[in-house]
Amino acid sequence: MNIQQLEYFANLAQTEHMTKSAALLNTSQPSLSYTIHELEKELEVPLFEKKGRNIQLTKYGRLYYSYVQAALNQLHLGNEFLKNTVAPFKGQIDFGFIYTMGSLIAPKLTKAFSQHYPQITFHFSQNNSRELLEELDKGNIDIALVSSIEGYPNLNFEAFTEEELVVIVPKKHPLVQREAIALEELAQEKLVYYNQNSGLRHYLDQLFAHFKLTLNPVVEVEEDHTILGFVAQNYGIAVIPNIPSISAYPVKKLPIATQFQPRRIFLATRKKGFISPTVAAFREFCLKEAKDMTS
């Protein structure tokens, strides 16, 4: 059984006239008759029966037609969806980004891109870096803004931007009087810290190990706003990216006086496999925007 057999059957079911269907399908009547005969032989039931000089569907044919027509309609929709998805300047981009990119960078990028290409739509996935990289590696998303994590040889990481880190303290904490803080001072404090699911955890572990600091985490959570919530409730202080939503919580933001390597954010894509023209255009747009942000 093949698609042509089903298309021939559906057309003949609609016309119930061999000559008309052969003309509509741009084929010969013997070829159409042979195709239907082979389909009936495979299904082991008659689909048509003679009615005078014409033909009509049998009860089996009527039942089968309802399924074939539905299947062909779905196939047609699938073909159109796929064509639109990969067509230049049309279709959908599955875009993933870490939580800190969701407050400003991701909305800004997609809004600006959509102004150039209004027919392109986005499906968004927001998660920690490891989960996003897993989805990207499986092909479930097209492109992602993440921190770099080892163990993904099939993915390509291109530098996108850097994130400033700050220390946040509760409003009633003694450090609230300070204008800045050194990393070394954090070893003396209770910390609200990122858990192992967060891409920031690996970076912070390396940063504190570089300065030979032993920390005292009292709470470990995954996401920035959860950390802000725990700090606001006086569980401890925390090191987080300098995101706009800090101002929405009863905490004070302190710059870090210590000089250190900044946290880098990367634009990740797959090294191999098909990349649609739409996704390729968005990648180029993101990298251009990254250059403009640093210039």
Residues 179 and 256 in one domain: yes
Assess whether 213 and 174 both reside in one domain: yes
Residue 254 and residue 182 share a domain:
yes
pLDDT digits over 211-240, tens only? 999 998 999 999 999 999 999 999 999 999
User: CATH number of the domain that 20 lies in?
Assistant: 1.10.10.10
99 and 13 part of one domain: no
Give the pLDDT confidence of 127-172 residue by residue, as tens digits.
999 899 999 999 999 999 998 788 899 999 999 999 999 999 999 9
Domain count, the chain: 3
Which has the closest alpha carbon to 153: 138, 137, 142, 167?
Answer: 137
Tell me which residue range forms the domain holding 192. Answer: 165-261
Tens digit of pLDDT for each residue in 60-103?
A: 999 999 999 999 999 988 887 777 666 667 778 999 999 999 98
Contact between 255 and 180 (Cβ < 8 Å): yes
**125's torsion region: left (phi>0), alpha (psi -120 to 50) or beta?**
beta
pLDDT value, residue 88: 64
pTM: 0.68
Q: Do 72 and 101 belong together in one domain? A: no
**43, 58, 86 - which closes a domain:** 86
pLDDT digits (tens, 9 = 90+) for 13-39: 999 999 999 999 999 999 999 999 999
Are 38 and 123 in the same domain? no
Of 86, 115, 133, which residue sits at a domain end? Answer: 86
Same domain, 56 and 182: no
- CATH code for the domain of 123: 3.40.190.10
Contacts 24+ apart (CB under 8 A), 149-158: 149/199, 149/202, 152/268, 154/270, 154/271, 154/272, 155/268, 155/269, 155/270, 155/271, 156/268, 156/269, 156/270, 156/271, 157/266, 157/267, 157/268, 158/266, 158/267, 158/268, 158/269, 158/287
Residue type, 70: A
Same domain for 16 and 152, yes or no, is no
Q: Based on the domain organization, do 113 and 226 belong to the same domain?
A: no
